[in-house]
A and B are shown apart, each in its own frame.
Chain A
Amino acid sequence: MEMYSAAFPVLSLILFTCIAGLAAVLLLPADRGEAIRYVSTGCSGVALALSLYVFIAYDRSLGGMQFVEQVQWVPSLGISYINGVDGFGASLLLLTGIVFFTGVLTMWEHEVRVKEFYALFIVLVTGVFGMFMALDLFFLFVWYDVSLFPMYLLIVVWGSTNREYGAMKLTLFLLAGSALILPGIIYLVAESGMHTFSLPDLVAHARLSPFAQKLAFFLFYVGFGILAGVWPFHTWSPAGHVAAPTAVSMLHAGVLMKIGAFGILRVGIFLCPEGWRFWAPVMALLATVGIVYGALAGLRQTDLKFVIGYSSVSHMGIVGLGLATLNVDGMNGAVFQMFAHGIMTALFFSAVGYIYDRTHTREFADLGGLCRVMPAAGGYFILAALTGIGVPCLASFWAELLVFIGAFKAYPAYGAVAITALAINALFILRVVEKTCFGPVNEKWAHLPDVSFGLGLPRLVLACAIIIFGLMPSLMYETIQSASVALIGGLP
């Protein structure tokens, strides 16, 4: 792994921005909701700008780890504070920045316990940012858990439908995942005999026995896989997404599930390539089952958020299938799908959140003709649905295309089954769109105002991202490619 030091610690600056925002929110008195919102928006805006800078400034022809910062932290344990991004990290940082910014804006109207909400929200995002840039296993795990623990309160205090159940289930599932990851990390570090948690050092010098790699990869795959919604560990995901408030659903389905997949990639695949190769057929099978299961379970849902929740399981299955292909196309597709699905789900939840805040129902049988009542809000909903289906010229299309190219090379049967399931699901999603947005207007909602420009801003940003990366996929593709070619090429 090539390492290029940063002239200026821009990655840490992202974290400091979040921490400064958190401090400012905590210091403001609780009754000044307006000020707290502006501070959070400012903080998320700066974070977005910085992550956009990282994405643009990342040198694709150079590849490797860039913007690397390194500080000794606890030398006696071999812990150091190392940050750096490769093509994978840079794209996902951008995703986090976008979803953070739009998430804060989406919650603009909400009034309950504003201070605590934004404080916990920023803590969560700090963890996500940290996870995508951390190159030390200790910090990686710390950030991973930092991004999980605010979830419980965020869902239980500000959530809806069945929130106590959803929150507890989600937290226990995800922490059960980290209960496998931590032993895995400690085991690898102990096995390597190198007394360091530094990922680049371990990748370069550790000589791990095939057995150790298989065991550790299994722990990482199941541990991170729970968060990535791998079937059969996905059951927390629809329940949790439905219970969570809009911005948290956006962040959770949009970014947090990607942390799981990213963990499998960064820790599992980078450190245990032998284990990866050994378990890849299992990964492919589970991913395919997940795609089919998510698509079919979605058919039975009547609640819009459940529809999105199950489609997330299905789409994360596509990521899993890509990671299991062991070839460059599959890897490119998997990471591209993480990005595209993140933006797409964020838009989906954001659009549904707006509709739910007005109508207080998410049963699509109760809705109808929304496009006539609120054309803009309906438009965003339709765009998200189309992206989810994988319509060409929208970001998800390229991602899914790449994954299936990779999958047909490696597992043609699984690829065929998965595509069929997605096609069935696509028909269903179109029916949902028809029932919600078209058809006769439900008179109860005829008076509702359309989304204003200010409130629509977060959706607009997300929609733009979908279209830009759909029309010019090379922006994203080349960044990811610079990392995946090196990864696959460097395999023993």
Chain B
Amino acid sequence: MTGWTLFAPELFMLVAAGIFLILSLGRPAAGRDHAAALVISAIGLSLGVWAVGLEGVLFAGVYRIDLFSQVFKVLVGAAFFLVICLCGDLSGVSEKRHSEFYFLLALCTLALMLLASCVHLLAVYLALELSSYSLYILVCLRKGRQKGLESGLKYFMTGACASALMLFGLAVLYGTGAGLSLAELGTRLPGRIHEPVVLAGIVLALSGFLFKMAAFPFHFWAPDAYEGAPHQVAAYIATASKVGGIAVFMRIIASAGGAGDRLAWFLIVVSVVSMTAGNLAAIAQKDLKRLLAFSSVAHAGYVMIGILSFNAMGLAGASFYAMSLLVMKLVCFMVVVKAAPHGDNIEIRHLAGLHGRAPILAAALMLALFGLAGIPPTVGFTAKLLVFTAAVENGLLWLVVAAMANVVISLYYYLQVLKAAYFIEPERGGLALSVSWAENLLALVLAGLIVAAGIYPRPFIAAAQAMTAGLV
């Protein structure tokens, strides 16, 4: 297999970005861009699926293609495709910016795909910045500017801080001789993690990924960015960008290989604070997207439990968790996109009457919310079971009890959303929304996936175990 074939999905994304760049030079035509995006993202996704199973190393060892990277590329590609599916009504972005919107989205997808494969911290940094910069602009694309700009700026400032800290951490790691390629780190870190400066280096280096995953202490951007961004961009941040962050975070922690108690304690603190802060803050939210943002912070904490367990089960669990988040968050954002008129923001109470207007969408939302809360028989429960099992095997029973306490807290606000969708009657006229058969089908498929993968998770767990087997 030659190098370029290995690189095919990424190359295709580059070409796709190029196509949209060219389209953006011409006269705007709303339907054309969306149709092109649908076709291109579908091809990108199939190419990603085709590339599963390829193995190899490119670019002098900084770029590694293995099952882990390829599955995450499929996930990112799937998120890209599904977000494009939600772009039928892109009224949050002014019409003449649609081509740029797709261009940046494709570019960001390319960056996230690169991120999954990078095994050298400098390459990781470049990919991370490429994806972040695309998203900074995407967040600002919101029509009516003011809100979008403000949140874009906040996103940018937090991101810039995180990446500055990360660069500093990389310099420290390099300076102490621990190295920057993951292979070097894997051999040298376990012996040297007890040196304070090495520990500081790795902790600082992790800040870039904590930002990407919206974990404490780099989560402050999430609610504002979600609120200010066009819905589809928020959906993309919640799914693709998060999954990409999880992928690279897992790779780095796995290569550090159970590196000492102190790193574990750092991650435990990050995890507990992320869960608790995210869940408590979410209770107070009225805006649905802000609520989803805080729930996303909490989920970063749950995923972290799997990663910090430093064992095979934990890594498999975290991958499984990433897959489950993708599906559940997409369903929630599908409701946001459909229920919000003209791309405006939507408060929880505006969901009133959803069950009557769009029963399938409402049912899918119910399953997604229970999934996010981790209630069986949904995929969200299985994901939590996996990461919790990993933690208990590692002797962290108390952490699991703390996480379950958080699950109960989170249930409160998920039930508020559910109550709005199912119980509260709309004031006047209510929700004006029409759901096409294709969208109903999509909701059905996603809801089916949430339940099916919850009841019979065997193939997905097998995939998660296979892809993470090479990491440890």
Contacts and interface: CB of A to CB of B under 8 A. Distances in A.
Q: Please determine whether chains A and B interact with each other in the same assembly.
A: yes
B456 A153 contact: no
Interface stretch (B27-35, B75-83, B208-216, B401-409): B401-409
B370 A149 contact: yes
A183 B412 contact: no
B377 A142 contact: yes
B419 A156 contact: yes
B411 interface: yes
B426 interface: no
B135 to A, nearest CB: 35
A156 B423 CA distance: 7
B404 to A, nearest CB: 4
Contacts of A303: none
A211 B419 CA distance: 42
Given A145-B375, A152-B415, A153-B418, A183 B388 contact: yes
Contact of A171 (B366, B407, B411): B411
B441 interface: no
B392 interface: yes
B461 A164 contact: no
A73 B389 contact: no
A492 to B, nearest CB: 25
A156 B377 CA distance: 22
A190 interface: yes
A116 B404 CA distance: 29
Contact of A146 (B377, B404, B407): B377
B126 interface: no
Contacts of A146: 376-377
Interface string A171-186: 1100110111011001
A148 B457 CA distance: 21
Contact of A76 (B381, B388, B401, B461): B461
A74 interface: yes
B149 to A, nearest CB: 38
Interface in B442-466: 455-458, 461-462, 465
Contacts of A27: none
A187 B399 CA distance: 12
B270 interface: no
A179 B408 contact: yes
Contact of B388 (A171, A178, A186): A186
Interface string A15-31: 00000000000000010
Given A76-B462, A145-B375, A152-B415, A172 B408 contact: yes
B355 interface: yes
Nearest to B409: A172
B184 interface: no
A189 interface: yes
Nearest to A159: B423
Nearest to A141: B376
Given A175-B407, A190-B389, A190-B393, A73 B412 contact: no
B461 A180 contact: no
B422 interface: yes
B6 interface: no
- Chain B CB count within 10 A is highest, among A171, A179, A187, for A179
Given A74-B461, A183-B400, A183-B404, A168 B388 contact: no
The interface size bin for chain A is: 20 to 34
A381 B366 CA distance: 38
Contacts of B411: 171-172, 175
A162 to B, nearest CB: 14
Contacts of B370: 149
A24 B163 CA distance: 55
Nearest to B386: A77
B397 A149 contact: no
A153 B423 contact: yes
A157 interface: yes
B461 A77 contact: yes
B458 A183 contact: no
B385 interface: yes
Interface in A128-153: 138, 141-142, 145-146, 148-149, 152-153
B319 to A, nearest CB: 14
B423 A175 contact: no
Given A73-B458, A116-B355, A171-B415, A189 B389 contact: yes
B205 to A, nearest CB: 32
Nearest to A26: B363
B313 to A, nearest CB: 8
Given A77-B461, A171-B411, A175-B408, A190 B392 contact: yes
Nearest to B398: A183
Contact of A168 (B397, B415, B456, B457): B415
Contacts of B415: 152, 168, 171
A112 to B, nearest CB: 12
B348 to A, nearest CB: 14
A77 B465 CA distance: 11
Interface in B339-391: 355, 359, 366, 370, 375-377, 381, 385-386, 388-389
A175 B404 CA distance: 9
B461 A179 contact: no
A71 to B, nearest CB: 11
Contacts of A30: 359
Contacts of B408: 172, 175-176, 179
Contacts of A179: 401, 404-405, 407-408
Interface string A246-285: 0000000000000000000000000000000000000000
Contacts of B355: 116
Contact of A180 (B359, B366, B401, B462): B401
A186 B392 contact: yes
A149 B451 CA distance: 14
A186 B385 contact: yes
Nearest to B404: A179
Contacts of B359: 30
Contacts of B366: 153
Nearest to A176: B408
- Chain B CB count within 10 A is highest, among A141, A145, A157, A189, for A145
A73 B423 CA distance: 37
Contacts of A116: 355, 422
A183 B392 contact: yes
Given A142-B381, A153-B423, A182 B388 contact: yes
Nearest to B422: A153
Contacts of B397: 183, 187
Interface string B125-157: 000000000000000000000000000000000
Contacts of A168: 412, 415
Interface in A22-51: 30
Nearest to A168: B415
A141 B385 CA distance: 11
A156 B422 CA distance: 9
Interface string B96-121: 00000000000000000000000000
- Chain B CB count within 10 A is highest, among A30, A116, A142, for A142
A30 B386 CA distance: 38
Closest 3 interchain pairs by CB?
A179-B404, A142-B376, A186-B392
10 contacts: A73-B458, A74-B457, A116-B355, A138-B385, A148-B375, A152-B415, A172-B408, A178-B404, A183-B392, A186-B385
Given A77-B386, A179-B404, 8 more contacts: A74-B458, A77-B389, A153-B366, A164-B419, A168-B415, A182-B388, A186-B385, A190-B392
